A and B are shown apart, each in its own frame.
Chain A
Amino acid sequence: MQINKLVKALVFALPVLALAACSSTEDTTADSEAERRATQERTQQEEQRGVETGSADRQMTPEEERRERMDELRQENTIHFEFDDSNISSEYAEVLDAHAEYLLNNPNVNVVVEGHTDERGTPEYNIALGERRANAVVNHLQNQGVLSSQLSTVSYGEEKPVVRRSNEEAWAQNRRAVLVY
């Protein structure tokens, strides 16, 4: 049904559009004026003949789909770690790959990787541990080809917790590296 209507609409609309195109000048305002008039006429005709137009969803190319997913992944900018550990768990590989690709495609963009720890251990040791976490992220990005000039680190250790509580859940949220653009 939908397709029938579409075909009918096109049959009537196309000659009008062609006429409008013929009458256009180099002047862009005149051009858009002509378009406007064409649309108006088409609507009028449709109204007179009782038809309505529809459109098909344009299929995204695989490349476009991938890019959209990458943009989504890039919204995720926090990597969490185990206690006293700076290994990047495999669940974050995809997220970091998305950041790497973005940085590769935008060599003028820089990112600061912040390293954070939970409150256990001493503040100075945690500064060192936070740096190790930030460096783990930097190394991962460099392995994907990101330029070292785009990357810098700062470790805040235990000084900037997300959750100011003393339990396992809070600690897990505070042990993190954050990519800040």
Chain B
Amino acid sequence: MKHIRVYTFLVLTTLLTGLGLQSPSAHAALEIVITEGIDSARPVAVVPFEWRGNGEAPYDFTEVIAADLRRSGRFNPIAVDDMPGQPTSDGDVDYSAWARSGVEAILVGHVESQGIGRYRVSYELIDVLRGQITGGGSQSLQNGELVHSQDHIIESRSSVVNDGQFRQYAHRISDVVYEALTGERGAFMTRIAYVIVEPDSDLPYQLVVADYDGHNERTLLRSPQPLMSPSWSPDGSKLAYVSFENRRSEIYIQDIYSTERRQVTSFPAINGNPVFSPDGKRLAMVLSKDGQPDIYVLDLETDRLTRVTEHWRIDTEPSWVPDGSGLVFTSERGGRAQVYHVDVRSRNVRRLTFEGESNLGASVTPDGRHLIMVNRTNGRYHIAKQDFPSGRNFQVLTETQLDESPSLAPNGSMIIYSTKYRNRQVLALVSTDGRFRARIPSREGEVKAPAWSPFI
């Protein structure tokens, strides 16, 4: 009877605080504090967009864009005061002055009204050095004809956006700039799911999603008992997670928009660590119903459950390789916990890690070239990286304390993880090359189990 009541309350909470409602939770909003890596980042300028209308500008796009680029670890947007001018389109740019400022690219733009609540946002991304060489326009002979080109303009776009979409559109511009300058897709329009624990609250455990930068935080579920292991469906619309609401571990899948949730497993003993396959049709998980924790795969269409590993010692922490043909997982079969790979069809198992005392919680980068994991050396837990599958070029990426739960951005550029800072569990970021590091303090509570969404 008690369980039923708790369950009803949980559902109610999810309905009331679902993403659709404008009820941002007041507590833990995250903020990103960059601790390392700005020196090695490429200088760029995000020039304030000109508002071509009356009164105050409706939105500060450039603040969001500059923050995005800085947090990517790749770029160091210079301060507005250090800019040699504030051009709003290619024609206004004093190329020699900008070339002297040392930035390699500038973003300029303007905003115009297009009726009530609608605005046209236009922007150009300009290669400053190329602009200086060609004087803002070059001429070349093509098929015997003189052609005027503007190859210093890397991107030039214009869109009409509603006032409710400003922040999202700013992230979209960041994606365009990032991809144009790095050749890699930007991950600024992504989300992060995580668990907040407020020990003194009646419902201490909360499953939360927010934009990757901590904005728009929404509580999907509050519970009196622990919530663990959120994992995104590949389309970014659902989360699988573990809930102890019935005083036992059970796996649920919840739609993040409709708040609809369903119980997927409730076997005796451990029901843990659900992970969607890259095609979204299967769910890897840890079950110990047959004696000890082993890796299983549940076909979500047929409900057929397949046991993938079978060993008398602990097997846990499954994570799909990008093509879905296999899983990396943690096993104690060799004594201490190490990372292994299992081919889902043949069930062949191969050990991948050998550095330090143990390695846990591994995942393969989206390009399939690196393994990211938690390494324990001399009793210290740090996030580390090595080549996949060879195991060469082992590198420890972090210097924080008790690091765990690393989750990769969908473009593979950044890792979000959980760590301990001043006796509290907080999230932190490190770039996959290890050069950029940031802390993400929350105002209250402990924050853990981060999961970076796929591209949305």
Chain A residues within CB distance 8 Å of chain B: 112, 119-125, 127-129, 131-132, 152-157, 159-160, 164-166
Contact = CB atoms under 8 A, between A and B. Distances in A.
7 contacts: A122-B361, A122-B374, A124-B229, A127-B228, A131-B288, A154-B244, A154-B248
A128 B291 CA distance: 11
B360 A125 contact: yes
A123 B449 contact: yes
B449 to A, nearest CB: 7
Contact of B448 (A121, A123, A154): A123
Given A124-B273, A124-B317, A132-B314, 19 more contacts: A121-B337, A121-B360, A122-B317, A122-B374, A122-B404, A123-B228, A123-B229, A124-B361, A125-B317, A125-B360, A127-B228, A127-B286, A128-B270, A128-B286, A128-B316, A131-B293, A155-B269, A159-B228, A164-B423
A166 B286 CA distance: 28
Contacts of A112: 247
Interface size on B, as a range, is 35 or more
Contacts, number: 84
A67 to B, nearest CB: 30
Contacts of B448: 123
Given A122-B317, A124-B286, A166 B420 contact: yes
Interface string B167-201: 00000000000000000000000000000000100
B412 interface: no
A152 B267 CA distance: 12
Nearest to A112: B247
B226 interface: yes
B272 interface: yes
Interface string B244-265: 1001110000000000000000
A145 to B, nearest CB: 21
B314 to A, nearest CB: 4
Interface of B: 199, 226, 228-229, 244, 247-249, 268-270, 272-273, 286, 288, 293, 314, 316-317, 330, 337, 360-361, 374, 376, 381, 401-402, 404-405, 420, 423, 425, 446, 448-449
Contacts of A122: 317, 330, 360-361, 374, 404-405
Nearest to A154: B248
A40 B53 CA distance: 104
Nearest to B318: A124
A166 B273 contact: no
Nearest to B446: A164
Nearest to B271: A127
A152 B286 contact: no
Nearest to B317: A124
B268 A152 contact: yes
Contacts of B288: 128, 131
* Max chain B Cβ within 10 angstroms of own Cβ: one of A121, A132, A164: A121
B270 A121 contact: no
B404 A154 contact: no
Contacts of B272: 124, 127
Contacts of A129: 314
A133 B237 CA distance: 37
B177 to A, nearest CB: 36
* Max chain A Cβ within 10 angstroms of own Cβ: one of B199, B314, B381: B314
B404 A121 contact: yes
Contacts of A128: 270, 286, 288, 293, 314, 316
A127 B448 CA distance: 15
A166 B423 contact: yes
Given A121-B381, A124-B330, A152-B268, A164 B199 contact: yes
Contacts of A152: 268
Given A122-B361, A124-B330, A159-B228, A131 B269 contact: yes
Contacts of B270: 127-128, 131, 155
A125 B339 CA distance: 12
* Max chain B Cβ within 10 angstroms of own Cβ: one of A124, A155, A159: A124
A120 B418 CA distance: 12
B199 A123 contact: no
A125 B270 CA distance: 11
B401 A166 contact: yes
Contact of B247 (A127, A154, A166): A154
Contacts of B269: 131, 153, 155
